[in-house]
Structure 1
Amino acid sequence: MSTATLPQGLTLGSVHVDTPVVLAPMAGITNAAYRRLCAEQGAGLYVCEMITSRGLVEGDETTKAMLVFDELESVRSVQLYGTDPAYVGRAAEILCADYGVAHIDLNFGCPVPKVTRKGGGGALPWKRGLLGEILTAAVAAATPYDVPVTMKTRKGLDDDHLTFLDAGRIAQETGTAAIALHGRTVAQSYSGQADWDAIAELVAHVDIPVLGNGDIWEAGDAIRMVEQTGAAGVVVGRGCLGRPWLFRDLAAAFAGERVATLPSLGEVRAVMRRHAELLCEHMGEQRGCKEFRKHVSWYLKGFRAGGTLRHSLALVDSLAALDGLLAELDPDEPFPVAELGTPRGRQGSPRSRVVLPEGWLDDTDGSDWRVREDANETTGG
């Protein structure tokens, strides 16, 4: 695939975005402020933090508090987690009818043990019957509102229990608009290297759009993934941590333009200030500054900022204090090019075994399996 044949946009049913890039939902990260920050950098689809279907249906206040959208967020996209078709269907209807959501993504990729031990997240596609029922319920609920439903999954539980090809077939059969594949198994979690060959295999296996996920650290990685796999677009997660301008690079790359975003520390400083400002607008200054702290190390990764200053930034409690600390950063320090192409965020080690409900592997139907997820459970994909 040459640059001339790169996808110039992404169409998911009634939703079209100019750049075939999706911001992966990340717990505690992709709130309304961060989505706005990324959208200011470049075009794409920006997905809200994942919420639980049961929490939404039962009116859990923590869940409802996560469903906040920026005033300029014209395309509201939410990732939904659930293991019960009835809950998922009702939650999808609520999102469409009460929150004006334009796109719903279903999480079948989370590798966190507290989720997989209940049969949720990346464990659920092993139960093909249950997967089909959940997708059918969500699509049926969203269709009257002309809202596309997509799903995200992984290769499988481990190398001996792969599920992605069956998941793709079931997604297509149930009217799901697209499927995103993270090229790792649940056992791998975020360790090792993503298997882009599996993404290509899924592209060849289904007729619906396939989005590739895993190891996209720079815009060039996204182009290589699409060229190698034939994917309709990419899903970006950890690669944008502390680097929201990655979306500007991605928009340029898919448009065939030169990508050269190597911001000086002064430019990074300005983005940090904007991020904190948006958080404070949405959450109030005290909570907004507290939320901002977790991003400091990602923004300053590779820069020479001293340990004392980093520590103070990680304890910032007001915008005035932040301004004083940011002023201490050398605005002329160049971007640390050694950081280009390197992993960001959590990596960890592969797990020796995936934690599953007792008897989970005994059959692949699971249409009678029901798990009552916690109302305010949060996960990552």
Structure 2
Amino acid sequence: MTIAAGVGVRPLRLGPIQAWPPVVLAPMAGITNPPFRRLCREHGAGLYVCEMITTRALVERNEKTLKMVRFDPDERPRSVQLYGVDPGVVGAAVRMIVDEDLADHIDLNFGCPVPKVTRRGGGSALPWRWRLFERIVTTAVREAGPDIPVTVKMRKGIDPDHLTFVRAGRIAQEAGVAAVALHGRTAADMYSGTADWSAIGELAAALDVPVLGNGDIWEADDALRMVEQTGCAGVVVGRGCLGRPWLFADLAAAFDGRSERALPGLRAVAGVMRRHAELLSEHLGEQRGVTDFRKHVSWYLKGFRVGGDTRRALGMAAGLAELDDLLGTLDLDQPYPRSELGVPRGRSTGIRKVSLPDGWLASADCADAPFGAELDTSGG
């Protein structure tokens, strides 16, 4: 058995699935599609979760959603995250996944903090209605059966006055989940400030099933610190890998007890950018693929000396040839900007009041699904 030097971490076990290192790629809308997952897998091992899939869109066989649950032939295990608020619809979606062999692992989303979701009572608002949460998780585990592990991803709660993570974690464990992942922020926190790792430690101490920690893992050494400080069984990485798929190589090295870390210069980064755009082009067609790649440009170039005009041009590239020409104009001999190590990436939305359905905070004991909370499109 592989044990990380100085940390004592074991491989992550989710039913029949074993993952080393104990690292999970967090589902991110518009990001964790097959090309990005492949790029990350080319750099390191772990469990790579697809974009969020809504249960109603899946059972209604929405064309976009069905495309999103397609995996590369060599992608194993196949991991899908489901969003749902109605136990019956969630159960039907899980049965469909099992019957049609669509995935090997199912994660349930109870962590989304965006207003369009919480104002309907979904995402990180839903565990407050704990009887409904129990019905959804119990139904999913039952329909998944013994061969498809079900996990839950959630936040601390709605806000500091309405925390749900310990109760929800215990309910999920009793329902039979294989693991619980906790983002150390509330819905009100969005992506602001510093993640509360002490909450991850509190949940790890309260549960017997593995607890995975999420929040502020910008470098591989952050993952080791989280495990050491909280006793969690592994980590979930989201924004830290934006424009840095080689972070998974660093994570593998760190959990193996090795000290090397990837610090690619701009020449190597440009090569990864080209590879990413190529994979997207193969997946979506060249025009759509390169257009989709544009959102990644600023993340890849963060900290490098690249002029504003060039950045804008790269962000408007329409084809691989144009992208190649623009990448060729860069000063490719630049070393990796060490000033960017440990610096937050991606969204940094500040604290805000959580949008909730009328009377939501007075309805904790209600077991009914909130009206209109189902989403009919996938991806967040």
1:49-100 Cα deviation digits (max 9, x unpaired): 0010001011112221222212221211000000000111111111222243
1:58 to 60, 72, 91: 60
CA contact (8 A) 1:8 1:255 kept: no
2:193 corresponds to which letter in structure 1?
G
CA contact (8 A) 2:243 2:300 kept: yes
C-alpha distance in 2, partners of 1:314/1:260?
28
1:361-372 map, 5 Å: 361-372=361-372
Deviation at 1:354, TM superposition (A): 1.1
Normalising by the residue count of structure 1, what TM-score does the alignment of the two structures yield? 0.97
C-alpha distance in 2, partners of 1:103/1:13?
9
Deviation at 1:106, TM superposition (A): 0.3
Normalising by the residue count of structure 2, what TM-score does the alignment of the two structures yield? 0.97
Deviation at 1:303, TM superposition (A): 0.2
Query: Which shifted more, 58-67 or 270-279?
Result: 58-67
1:18-37 map, 5 Å: 18-37=20-39
CA contact (8 A) 1:84 1:371 kept: no
C-alpha distance in 1, partners of 2:143/2:34?
25
Q: Secondary structure at the match of 2:199?
A: helix
C-alpha distance in 1, partners of 2:40/2:378?
25
Deviation at 1:305, TM superposition (A): 1.0
Q: State the superposition RMSD in angstroms.
A: 1.3
Residues 1:273 and 1:115: Cα distance change in structure 2 (over 3 Å): same
C-alpha distance in 2, partners of 1:99/1:114?
31
CA contact (8 A) 1:262 1:335 kept: yes
- In structure 2, the residue matched to 1:138 is 140
- In structure 2, the residue matched to 1:166 is 167
Q: Secondary structure at the match of 1:156?
A: coil
Q: Secondary structure at the match of 2:100?
A: helix
1:216 corresponds to which letter in structure 2?
I
2:114 to 109, 112, 122: 112
- In structure 1, the residue matched to 2:280 is 279
CA contact (8 A) 2:4 2:255 kept: no
C-alpha distance in 1, partners of 2:68/2:276?
18
1:73-222 map, 5 Å: 73-143=75-145, 146-222=147-223
Q: Secondary structure at the match of 1:348?
A: coil
Say whether 1:341 aligns with 2:323. Answer: no
Q: Which runs of 5+ in 2 are unaligned?
A: none
CA contact (8 A) 1:155 1:164 kept: yes
CA contact (8 A) 2:181 2:236 kept: yes
1:154-203 Cα deviation digits (max 9, x unpaired): 00100000000001100110001100000000000000110000000000
C-alpha distance in 1, partners of 2:378/2:115?
12
2:232 corresponds to which letter in structure 1?
A
**Percent of pairs with identical residues:** 62
CA contact (8 A) 1:135 1:174 kept: yes
CA contact (8 A) 1:6 1:254 kept: no
C-alpha distance in 2, partners of 1:287/1:2?
41
CA contact (8 A) 2:265 2:333 kept: yes
Query: Which shifted more, 159-168 or 359-368?
Result: 359-368
Q: Secondary structure at the match of 1:324?
A: helix
Deviation at 1:307, TM superposition (A): 1.1
CA contact (8 A) 2:4 2:254 kept: no
- In structure 2, the residue matched to 1:252 is 253
C-alpha distance in 2, partners of 1:158/1:262?
38
Deviation at 1:6, TM superposition (A): 3.0
C-alpha distance in 1, partners of 2:66/2:364?
34
Q: Secondary structure at the match of 1:162?
A: coil
Q: Secondary structure at the match of 1:158?
A: coil
1:257-272 map, 5 Å: 257-272=258-273
- In structure 2, the residue matched to 1:325 is 326
CA contact (8 A) 2:7 2:224 kept: no
1:63 corresponds to which letter in structure 2?
T
CA contact (8 A) 1:9 1:16 kept: yes
Deviation at 1:125, TM superposition (A): 0.3
Say whether 1:315 aligns with 2:316. Answer: yes
Deviation at 1:14, TM superposition (A): 1.1
C-alpha distance in 1, partners of 2:126/2:35?
31
Q: Which runs of 5+ in 1 are unaligned?
A: none
